[in-house]
Amino acid sequence: MHHEIHILMSKECSKCKKNPSIYLRQYSGEFLCKKCFLRSIEYKAKRTISKYSMIRHGDTIAVAVSGGKDSLVLLNVLRNTLANQGSQLVAITVDEGIKGYRDESLNIVKNFCASIGVENRIMSFSELFGLSMDKAMEVRPSEKISSCSMCGTFRRRALDLLAESCGANVVATGHNLDDYIQTFLINLFAGDVERIGWTYPEPVEYGITDLRKIKPLMEIYEREIVLYAIHTNIPFQSEECPYKDESIRSAFRNHLDNLEKIHPGIKYNAYSSILKIAKKVKAAGSLKDLDLNHGVQQEHRRCIICKRDSSNVICSVCSTLDLLVKET
């Protein structure tokens, strides 16, 4: 470790050729000083945003901020890159109701938003669904539903509702490159080919209010997001959720980290290939849809209970709630 720091400090930045470097970007071989490194992260996010037309003039962007590193970095990067560009930012936060865990992160978010002058709106599972995550964990039939899939189902709906309540037309989340590859592998191993197509970052509007979901950090390594947070003094929650299940995701994460250590850049290569696959799967999927409907775009289906968009008669939120109510 000391050895590595010594080498870094004695090298000058490959970009500005002036300042001492703080980071060796293994996959490109570049030594970067603090200023050039931070700039490179913001530049990458900006490039991703324009490559996939994620943001347009006049958008109101609701940034999903949990208090973890990815979401706080996303908020900071968007604030820096979108200043005076005719779009509005608001931070939206979901309070799942997890005692001892969520309270700390809510404070971090509140303070950070206040310090950079961005409005923060919070909604809780209790007020939206009638029960907190703590309560849901107590009553759930554990053989039928895992903590994180239940929590994720509710959180996605909560974010939509929060965004709508702010009049936002875009929801930005902090998913990074590592997340993207893990999600692909999860879908691949689950045999869920159609879902792979859904991950292609082409902006699609959905739902009653035409929300557009974007992931501006999806081409940035998780490791570099942590580094960005540290060098910009962004305080983030590092404590783990008590309900986190030992998912297949962590197994893939460890495996990919090990591979990257031996073969720097392999994650990025995987990412590029996955994008191409996702694009093809998506294109094939929409052709099939058109075929099945004789060339007519399929009409949106709605959940018969909550009346929101759903691919089934009853949406996943309503069916999960039903499962929980039966147990109480």
**Contact assessment for residue 306 and residue 299, using Cβ atoms and an 8 Å cutoff:** no
In order, the DSSP letters of 179-204 are HHHHHHHHHHHHT-HHHHHHTS----
Shortest Cβ 190–ligand SF4 spacing (Å): 18
Shortest Cβ 148–ligand SF4 spacing (Å): 3
**Contact assessment for residue 13 and residue 28, using Cβ atoms and an 8 Å cutoff:** no
Q: Which does 144 bind (CB under 5 to 8 A by kind): ligand SF4, Zn ion, none?
A: none
Q: Which does 218 bind (CB under 5 to 8 A by kind): Zn ion, ligand SF4, none?
A: none
| β-pair partners for 63 | 91, 172
- Whichever of 231 and 308 has its CB closer to Zn ion, that residue is 308
Q: Which does 244 bind (CB under 5 to 8 A by kind): ligand SF4, Zn ion, none?
A: ligand SF4
- What does the block give as tokens for 179? 């997340």
Shortest Cβ 192–Zn ion spacing (Å): 21
Shortest Cβ 196–ligand SF4 spacing (Å): 21
Residue 74, judged by CB atoms within 10 A of its CB (0-12, 13-18, 19+), counts as buried
User: What residues contact residue 266 under an 8 Å CB cut-off, 6+ apart?
Assistant: 259, 260
Shortest Cβ 33–ligand SF4 spacing (Å): 35
- Whichever of 179 and 260 has its CB closer to ligand SF4, that residue is 179
Which chain residues interact with ligand SF4 by CB under 6 A?
Answer: 96, 147-148, 151-152, 241, 243-244
**Contact assessment for residue 224 and residue 267, using Cβ atoms and an 8 Å cutoff:** no
- Whichever of 41 and 131 has its CB closer to ligand SF4, that residue is 131
- Whichever of 163 and 318 has its CB closer to Zn ion, that residue is 318
- Whichever of 21 and 66 has its CB closer to ligand SF4, that residue is 66
**Contact assessment for residue 92 and residue 159, using Cβ atoms and an 8 Å cutoff:** yes
Which chain residues interact with Zn ion by CB under 5 A?
Answer: 303, 305-306, 315, 318
User: What residues contact residue 129 under an 8 Å CB cut-off, 6+ apart?
Assistant: 154, 317, 321
